[in-house]
Amino acid sequence: MFSLKKIFNWLDVRLRIGDLVSFMKKKEVPLYYGTIWYYFGGIALLLFIVQVVTGMLLLLYYKGSADLSFESVQFISAKVKFGWLIRSIHSWSANLMVLAVMVHMFSVFFTKAYRKPRELSWYSGFILLCLVFAFGFTGYLLPWNELSFFATKVGTDIIKVVPLVGNFFMNIMRGGEEVTGATLSRFFGFHVAFLPGIFTVVIAIHLILIQRQGMAAPENWDELPDLQKKRIPFFPNFLLRDLLLWLLIINILCILAVFFPWELGMKANELAPAPAGIKPEWYFLFMFQTLKFIPAKMLFIDGEVLGVLMFSVAGLFWFLVPLWDRKTKVGKKGYWLTYIGIFVVIYILVFTIIGFIM
């Protein structure tokens, strides 16, 4: 008879997973007001899995050349059974995934979970964030409609302003001087091969690190008396909660796909002028809006160069937070970093909203 025990024994003899399993059984999750934030990593993972599954399904019908991609997406949305569902889920899940990773990142930041010994998790996480943005940027072009064509044009134009290497990188990205069918081919390759490959490796590292190190406890955890240190085991309690949440999220995705189907718009016309008020997707808006506010020239530097430089420096600072944060390394409360974090969140929110309104 097939019992779990028999399967386990069979695997154990071959893979020696006994240690692993007993180790995993011990994994616990701290239970406190902030426990909800622990879910967001899992949500991001779920959404990634959804993206991979729906992405693979879309790949069966999508055609990645400038003459055919728009029509193929139209074909999927209209003629393939449930194609509309797969496509809308893919688009919604993409946006929700960006949101989830950002919430996840900020929750890790504010709970200072990047402290030793978890710096590597933070670094790998940051890389994952950049990869997710790259996914979003490359995937957005693939329907080859008006909006995506011009958004890509504007987005890749910004790369050009980086001094020295800017032009070179822009050419690499665009596959030429302008956004053309060659750009589409490259982005398609990046989106379905390059990035998933790299992403899988990095996320494997990220997950292994997390499993190895266990869930981070909040700053003041050690100070609490034992009785208040409530924990629940990861398997099966937290996992079941996770699964429940995942189930609900899948349902939400379906609801979104039905009630707010993703638009296709009109096919990209390379010769047409850009429509007024073109802007990138919401997760790039705050950067885009910031660049708009910087005056064209400040002293001797081009406004755009300054903007790109600013964001690069900010990104670097953010990346190296485990190094900056000396206070929490020694167990003390690090108020400054919290304030910086709050400032960043508010900045992003405000500029995103401004970007929408303008």
Partner 1 sequence: MIENLNSDKKLSRRDFLNYVLGFGFFGWLAATIYPLYLYLKPPKAPEVDVKNLKIGNVNEIEKNSSKMFKFGNKPGILVRSAEGDFKAFDATCTHLDCTVQYKKEEGLIWCACHNGRYDLNGKNVSGPPPRPLTPISITIQKDEIFVSK
Partner 2 sequence: MKYSFYFLTAILIIFIMCNKDFFAQQKDLPESKDQCLNCHSILDGKFKAPAMSYRSDVHFRKGLACSSCHGGDSKNDDQEKAMNKSAGFIGVPKGSQVSRICAKCHAEKFTALQNSVHGESSTGNGQIINSCITCHGVHNIVPVKSPSSRVNGSNIVNTCAGCHSNAAYMKNYNPEISVDMLEKYKTSMHGKKVFSGDSKPANCASCHGSHDVKKVNNPQSSVYFSNIPKTCNKCHGNAEYMKEYNIPTDQFEKYSTSVHGIALLEKGDKNAPSCNKCHGDHGAAPPEIESISKVCGTCHVLNSQMFQESPHKQAFTDKGLHECGVCHNNHDVHQPSDDMIGTGEKSVCIRCHKAGDKGFESAFIMKKMIDSLNNDVKTANNLIREAEQKGMDVSDSKFDNNDIKKVLITSRTVIHYANLDKYLETIGEGFKITNKAKLTGKEAVDDYYNRRIYLGISTLFITILAIALYMKLRKINKKKVEH
Quote the CA–CA distance of 209 and 128 in Å, as a whole number.
14
**How many chain residues bind partner 1 (CB under 8 A)?**
18
Smallest CA-to-CA distance from 66 within 176, 154, 170, 162 is with 176
By a kind-dependent CB cut-off of 5 to 8 A, residue 322 interacts, out of partner 2, partner 1, none, with none
What is the torsional sign of CA 209, 101, 159, 175?
positive
CB of 249 to partner 1, least distance (A): 13
Among 63, 160, 241, 267, binds partner 1 (CB under 8 A): 63
Per-position x/- string for 230-269, each x denoting binding to partner 1 as judged by CB under 8 A, each - no binding:
-----------------x----------------------
**DSSP letter string, 62-84:** ---STTTHHHHHHHHHHTSTTHH
SS3 annotation, 93-120: HHHHHHHHHHHHHHHHHHCCCCCCCCHH
CB of 195 to partner 1, least distance (A): 24
Of the candidates 145, 156, 148, which has an alpha carbon nearest to the alpha carbon of residue 278? 148
Distance between CA atoms of residues 206 and 315, nearest Å: 20
Query: Are 259 and 85 in contact, with CB atoms under 8 Å apart?
Result: no
CB of 306 to partner 1, least distance (A): 45
Among residues 37, 75, 169, 282, which is the contact residue for partner 1, using CB under 8 A?
Answer: 75
Contact pick of 43, 46, 50, 57 for partner 1 (by CB under 8 A): 57
Binding residues for partner 1, per CB under 8 A?
Answer: 57, 60-61, 63, 67-68, 71-72, 74-75, 79-83, 85-86, 247
Q: List residues near partner 2 by CB under 8 A.
A: 74, 77-79, 84, 232-233, 236-237, 240-241, 243-244, 247-248, 250-251, 254-255, 258-259, 261, 263
